[in-house]
Structure 1
Amino acid sequence: MEIDFITNHHKQTKRDYLARVNKINKSEAAVKAKKWDFDYWDGSRDVNYGGYYYDGRWEPIAKKIIDFYKIKPGNKILDIGCGKGFLLYELKKQVPGVIIRGLDISSYAIKNAKEEVKEYLKIGDANKLPYSDKEFDLVLSINTLHNLYCFDLFSALQEIERVGKEKKYLCVESYRNETEKVNLLYWQVTCEAFFNTEEWKWIFNQNNYRGDYSFIFFE
């Protein structure tokens, strides 16, 4: 099912797409970004976030997720591509007693995660999750899977199905027209999977992903 928790959050950021390619060395920025280190999270905005700090903006997203999936104390939640753990922090704050786990490829993000949730996060790859079958009541992956090559993307989708029960949600970057495709190509620094919405849905079906999903568009 397509369900959108992210668009309002995404649209809070203003983007100058032409400046992204005309004023910086895009290839050098991408090389730095794909190290998933300081430059990606807290370095120059030319590389990626330009400083990824807690500011409460994940709170309304967490509330939507909690309401939609009827999260309650004792539920076990996994966030794949958790970054510094801000979403997991909001989920745990709003539902005391929820059990959280986070996985990210970035050792820098884990080291600099929010202190309240750092103990629940670990370094790892989305294509081989270090968890048991049907371990989680809810599996999340927001703005992560489009950074994988197809062979890893397919494995990651199958892994989400393996470790999750019924409730799963992912969000990926995509496009619906040529303008959005060009803007995505201009803006991204880590994306490896460039698919329109119908291609993404086909990929979900090919890998038996039966969870919910949404798309980020660069309008």
Structure 2
Amino acid sequence: MSEVDFVTLVHKSTKRDYVQRVVEVDKAVVAEKAIEFGRDYWDGDRLSGYGGYRYDGRWRKVADAMVAHYGLKPSDRILDVGAGKGFLLHDFTEAVPGITVDGIDISAYAVENAKPEVKSRLRVGDAKTLPYPDRSFDFVVSINTLHNLYINDLFAAIREIERVSKNGNSHITVEAYRNEREKVNLMYWQLTCRAFHTPQEWEWIFKTCGYRGDWGFIYFE
């Protein structure tokens, strides 16, 4: 397992005003609403979440990079843990025509409002108890999801990803911080994060859970 960055370009394409997030609203109230992962989080005001999570094709470059790195083929099956509205899964189907995709997300709203082309492949569920047999998937991906779990559920989710992937063929991207400025920016910006760790702490968690896949980090610089 090793660190591989697929998401930084997508992450940096969005401009963020960290201070605005904490001075214009009661952030605790907003965060309580966001953690429900309903309409307010996905398609409400920017201060309460994405401010309208609409497909714009930006995840295609991530799909293409993962396809090339992991050698994904039309006969393969992919699982996205924390698939949201299925945008990345849709882009996988365009990057590799014929590939089988599945997604799971805690948000019933996201699944109900998923991209039509992949909506039937998504289901509502919890990362800590994935409803799939052992070694069901040739590749498992989870982006910007696992840091939303408390530590006991986080460990369970990582072990579940390891369980359902073939030969540990998987990738996890989570939020992290390398210094005090990034930690403060992360605290200002986040609405749903429950696991705040440095890269070294995340790597220890992965190792402790027996995770054999790759990982990546996004930072709030």
Give the shorter-chain TM-score range.
over 0.9
1:195 pairs with 2:213: no
Rounded Cα–Cα distance in structure 2 between residues aligned with 1:28 and 1:46: 11
Q: Aligned runs of 1:12-161 on 2, under 5 Å? A: 12-161=13-162
Rounded Cα–Cα distance in structure 2 between residues aligned with 1:7 and 1:125: 26
Q: Aligned runs of 1:146-185 on 2, under 5 Å? A: 146-166=147-167, 167-185=169-187
How high is the TM-score relative to the length of structure 1? Answer: 0.99
Deviation at 1:173, TM superposition (A): 0.2
How high is the TM-score relative to the length of structure 2? Answer: 0.98
Q: Which amino acid aligns with 2:205?
A: I
SS at structure 1 position matched to 2:142: strand
Tell me how many residue pairs correspond in the alignment: 219
Rounded Cα–Cα distance in structure 1 between residues aligned with 2:56 and 2:159: 33
Deviation at 1:96, TM superposition (A): 1.1
Rounded Cα–Cα distance in structure 1 between residues aligned with 2:136 and 2:96: 19
Q: Deviations for 1:10-42, whole angstroms, at most 9, x for unmatched residues? A: 001111111111111101110110111000000
Q: Which amino acid aligns with 2:176?
A: S
Rounded Cα–Cα distance in structure 2 between residues aligned with 1:105 and 1:163: 18
Q: Which runs of 4+ in 1 moved over 4 A?
A: none
Identity of aligned residues (%): 56
Deviation at 1:168, TM superposition (A): 0.4
Q: Note the aligned Cα RMSD (angstroms).
A: 0.5
Unpaired segments of 5 or more residues in structure 2? none
Rounded Cα–Cα distance in structure 2 between residues aligned with 1:139 and 1:10: 20
Rounded Cα–Cα distance in structure 1 between residues aligned with 2:153 and 2:191: 18
Rounded Cα–Cα distance in structure 2 between residues aligned with 1:156 and 1:94: 27
Rounded Cα–Cα distance in structure 1 between residues aligned with 2:14 and 2:30: 19
Q: Deviations for 1:128-172, whole angstroms, at most 9, x for unmatched residues? A: 000000010000000000000000000001101100013100100
Q: Which amino acid aligns with 1:176?
A: R
SS at structure 2 position matched to 1:215: strand
Q: Deviations for 1:60-91, whole angstroms, at most 9, x for unmatched residues? A: 11100110011111100000000000000000
Rounded Cα–Cα distance in structure 2 between residues aligned with 1:14 and 1:196: 23
Deviation at 1:94, TM superposition (A): 1.7
SS at structure 1 position matched to 2:123: strand
SS at structure 2 position matched to 1:46: helix
